[in-house]
Chains A and B, each alone.
Chain A
Amino acid sequence: MSGQVRAGLPNLLSPEVLASLSNLDLVARAAVHGFLTGLHRSPQFGFSQEFAEYRAYSEGDDPRFVDWNVYARTERTYIKRYLGETNTHLVILLDVSASMAFSSGGVSKLQYAKFLAATLAYLASRQHDAVGLIVFDEEVRDHHRPSSRIGRLHALLHAIDRAEAGTGTDLSVPFERFRQYQSGRGLVAVISDFYCDPEAMLKGVQPLAYQGQDVILFQVLDQQELEPEFKESALLEDMETGEAMEVSPIFMRSRYRERIQEHCDALKKAAARGGADYQLLRTNEPLDAALRNYLTFRQRRG
């Protein structure tokens, strides 16, 4: 029942509701709290303050989490661990290519991707995970290395907020940058519309998997991209290349849908082969599915 709303209250995870909030920080908080409010206690996810285990204190651990009662009895310092606390890092790869600016009336893919990125960052931050960000199109536009320092989240959210649609897409560039600066294991969330060759995407993802990174691919698409409705021929212009093409409504209703579906399937298979998770997100859907998927992913990692 997660992600659903109480009677009379708006769905705080709805893209339209989130879009009405002016501050991305508020967006992230609203999304996460909305999500957590609807999230019942579930052993599957285990994100709570429930005790999980004790671990010997090591240098660098937060002294606040030392169980002083145990210390009093045993004079040994143990850290009390709770479910969901695994101290990992999350790097969000946010695609801001021109095609991400597409919208068929509601929020654009880029807006949706920003909401998702901010929400993931906020959620991860609450779990004390270090969060990093790479904003890219054909090039890396912004890069924030993972950090769990207090106040770092705001800088990250600000970076997400100021991201604007750029030019084309080249997935190899952010993956390459990621490999250059990231040595430890962690989580990698790639948010993109993935208008690229699935095999090329695989070539970028696979090395990360070999590094021990857990990669989750969020493919953000508009409903009009998946199931376009045209009643007359139209001249469609590629937002990245500027190439224009007059297409018939019959083609858009039949062959095009088959092609995009084949592409999505190919991406999914490529992700599976590369050891990555894949999730298709539609811009008219709430963020529930994405967050739930992330937590599942996170738990598996933890």
Chain B
Amino acid sequence: MTLLAPLFLLGVLAVGLPLWLHRLSSENPNRQQFSSAMFLEPGEPRRVLAKNLQYLLLLALRIAVLVLLALTFARPALQGAAQAMLEEDARLNLIIMDTSASMRHGDRWERARQAALDVIAAAPAGDLLQLIAAGRTARVITEPTVDPASVRQSLNALVPDYSHLDYGEVMNSVDRMLRGINVATQVHLITDLQRTSMPTRFAQLAAQAPLTLEIHDVSRPGETNWAVQSVTWQPAAQEAAVSVRSFATQAAERTVVLELNGARAAAQPMSIPAGGTVTASFAGVELASGANRVRLYIEPGDDLETDDQRFIVVKRPEPRTILLISADPTRRDAFFLTAALEAVNGPLTVVEPVTPGALRERDLSRYAFVVAADAGVLAPADAGLLRTYVAGGGAMLLGLGQRSGGLDAVPVTGHTFLGTTQLGARAGEFTLVGSMDTTHPALAGTEELRSAKFYRYTGLTPAPGDQVLAALEQGPPLLIEHALGQGRVIVFTSSLDRQWNDLPVLPVFVPLMAGVSAYLAGDLAVQTEAQLGNTLSARAVGLAGGQIFDPTGNAALGIAAGAGAEVLLDQIGFYEVLGGGVTELVAVNMDPNESDLTPVEPNAVDRWRGLNAGAGAATADAAMDLNPAEPTPLWPWVLGLLIAMVFVESWVGNWHLRVRRGIAA
């Protein structure tokens, strides 16, 4: 226990007053002169004793009230047990273990563990020890303690992960940890001193907190490593290209193996020059339907096995059909639209035209999405069908062309028309795109849209919840995303042919249609690769909810968790997301920076040490003020006790005075 305002304890001296008064009172306990003691006889001893006890009780209560009052002002608080056990010359030994992926190389981790044990053994009895694991972030493994056994136990349970270490971040974390601690601190950084772990700015290695830095280098000269640096997939050619890099001073012969869904599919021998990079290609890979697990690795492996492989998820493109509602069976009214859709989606995409009257004969769930080039051709019955389709999870692109002019509201979405604006009456009259949300996936790479000229458009008021993706210069929306049930509709407030604008003949029309169609088909929603240390949720892969399994097959997220629940990606391999009968895969790979074992130059290490040397010695003799955690305040409890004590004292005192008042003078 500690006192935040100990000076108030001087108030305890006030107990002298009741002591003095009680002593005075004891010396004259109702002493009265009486004519004669001839007829008197002493009272019963038991009654006298009871009276004395009552007197002592009142005195004790009064002293307790004063002590509690002083204690309340002194603000008592519970401090950590460690501080209570500290000796005056004790110091804090902060052991930082590098747990980045490179520490898995050979027996580096074992050497690092031994170095940490040596530090623990060398620490004088009474010194504080604290263990920190430094990977992507710094984690406190043990709180400061004087018990070496508990630190050893925690150290033995510690293993390196797959993350990348940044020494700048480490020093920053140490600063934050030592904030408010005024005790001599010796930081033991046990690491392999990778050059790739150095921060961008050297100054980041200087800690603000007073400390002495000791770096324990566990790397050894001449250590070699070969790593699969990158893998790229060419969908058109069904080809995987893999780069293997050497971090060794000698050439090596390796075989690159392509493993597809757990089975060895292909292999290529390669000669890797010293410090060089070799690329190999695997063409004509026969993918299975849906998401495929593709692992590329080199054999034989080396001392750092985790970077001898790389994981990617490859989806086999499925044939998709887009339903185009056109009043003209020859699709001349949607010529540009059809051409653009077929161009961006390749031979696997089929644009299937249908007249509005034949819409009810089609099974709309078969289509990736539906396009209506001009909403004016849709009869109310057709609009009802489409509305049901979209609300059930479908998607639609809706243009407002020439035939939409006579409508009161937009079919399917129900937006109210504000009228059609005609700007093309005189030559040179047009409007441009004033604003656009380029962060929206449907508009990625469509900056050229600003050059399109619009002569006519239909005014709409966006409904609540609508997202305006692009708007014209005067402010009316051009592209609106409207959510309807589980599906969505993108409304284009001008025509999708050349009659109201020149967009279809501009090059940007193709990427715009590509983005819109990819967005509506749900292609962009699926994430297949993620960074180590990031989080993953079912929503991120386009699912409303589901279970997530880590690369070892263990459930990282239960089925009861919501779609927004996230899992920390701390392993490499394939994370599997299951939900709604769909299985999605996300590949997680090791940070390539960890593959490069090149050590930091010795002079840089010396400069680093120099930045943090001796600062701790300056405070070695400082008063102990280790305050790693906020002390738990006790004064509210003391205050409660004080109030209770005041009530009891008042009651006892009042009873006592009542009796005294009753005594005859």
Contact = CB atoms under 8 A, between A and B. Distances in A.
The answer on A and B forming one complex is yes
Interface of A: 99, 102, 104-105, 109, 193, 195, 222, 224-225, 228-241, 243-248, 251, 255-256, 259-260, 263
Interface residues of B, number: 25
A263 B39 contact: yes
Contacts of B662: 231-232
Contact of B35 (A225, A234, A248, A251): A225
B192 to A, nearest CB: 86
B362 interface: no
A247 B42 CA distance: 5
A221 B34 CA distance: 12
Contact of A232 (B36, B37, B38, B660): B660
B421 interface: no
Given A102-B33, A248-B47, A251-B40, 18 more contacts: A102-B35, A104-B664, A105-B665, A109-B35, A195-B35, A224-B664, A228-B664, A229-B664, A232-B660, A233-B43, A237-B32, A237-B34, A239-B34, A239-B36, A247-B41, A256-B39, A260-B39, A263-B38
B36 A246 contact: no
Interface string B631-665: 00000000000000000000000000001101111
A236 B40 contact: yes
A237 B30 CA distance: 11
Given A231-B659, A232-B659, A251 B38 contact: no
Contacts of B220: none
26 contacts: A193-B36, A230-B664, A231-B659, A232-B660, A232-B662, A232-B663, A234-B31, A234-B663, A235-B32, A236-B32, A236-B33, A236-B34, A236-B40, A238-B35, A238-B36, A239-B34, A241-B37, A245-B41, A245-B42, A246-B29, A246-B43, A247-B43, A255-B41, A256-B39, A256-B40, A263-B39
Nearest to B664: A229
Nearest to B659: A232
Given A232-B660, A235-B29, A99 B41 contact: no
B33 A239 contact: yes
A247 B43 CA distance: 4
Contacts of B32: 234-237
Contacts of A248: 43-44, 47
B664 A237 contact: no
Contacts of A225: 34-35
Nearest to B41: A251
A246 B36 CA distance: 13
Contacts of A241: 37
5 closest A-B pairs by CB:
A231-B662, A248-B43, A238-B37, A259-B39, A236-B34
Given A248-B47, A251-B43, A256-B40, A239 B659 contact: no
Contacts of A231: 659, 662-664
Nearest to B45: A246
Contacts of A239: 33-36
Contact of B37 (A222, A224, A236): A236
Contacts of A244: 31
A237 B35 CA distance: 8
B119 to A, nearest CB: 73
B47 A233 contact: yes
Identify the interface centre among B38, B44, B659, B662: most chain A CB within 10 Å of its CB: B38
Contact of A238 (B29, B31, B34, B51): B34
Contacts of A237: 31-34, 37
B297 to A, nearest CB: 98
A248 B40 CA distance: 10
Main secondary structure, interface of B, reads loop
Contacts of B665: 104-105
Contacts of B41: 245, 247, 251, 255
Contacts of B29: 235, 246
B51 A99 contact: no
A195 B38 contact: yes
Identify the interface centre among A231, A232, A237: most chain B CB within 10 Å of its CB: A232
Contact of B51 (A109, A222, A233, A243): A233
B48 interface: yes
Nearest to B31: A235
Contacts of A109: 35
B635 to A, nearest CB: 39
B421 to A, nearest CB: 103
A222 B665 CA distance: 13
Nearest to A236: B34
Nearest to B30: A234
A243 B37 contact: yes
Nearest to B28: A235
Contacts of A255: 41
Nearest to A240: B36
Nearest to B661: A231
A248 B34 CA distance: 14
B43 A102 contact: no
B56 to A, nearest CB: 15
Contacts of A245: 37, 40-42
A247 B41 CA distance: 6
Contacts of B38: 195, 263
Nearest to A225: B35
Identify the interface centre among B33, B47, B48, B665: most chain A CB within 10 Å of its CB: B33
A256 to B, nearest CB: 6
Contacts of B39: 256, 259-260, 263
Contacts of B35: 99, 102, 109, 193, 195, 222, 225, 238-239
A236 B30 CA distance: 8
Nearest to A98: B35
Interface in B1-55: 29-44, 47-48, 51
A77 B47 CA distance: 79
B24 to A, nearest CB: 14
A271 B665 CA distance: 33
B443 to A, nearest CB: 96
Contacts of B664: 104, 224, 228-231
Contacts of B47: 233, 248
A251 B48 CA distance: 13
B584 to A, nearest CB: 89
Interface string B582-597: 0000000000000000
A195 B34 CA distance: 12
A238 B35 CA distance: 6
A241 B44 CA distance: 23
Identify the interface centre among B29, B32, B660: most chain A CB within 10 Å of its CB: B32
A79 to B, nearest CB: 48
Contacts of A238: 34-37
Interface string B538-563: 00000000000000000000000000
Given A99-B36, A238-B36, A244-B31, A233 B48 contact: yes
A131 to B, nearest CB: 28
Nearest to B51: A233
A244 B37 CA distance: 8
B30 A232 contact: yes
Nearest to A195: B36
A208 to B, nearest CB: 24
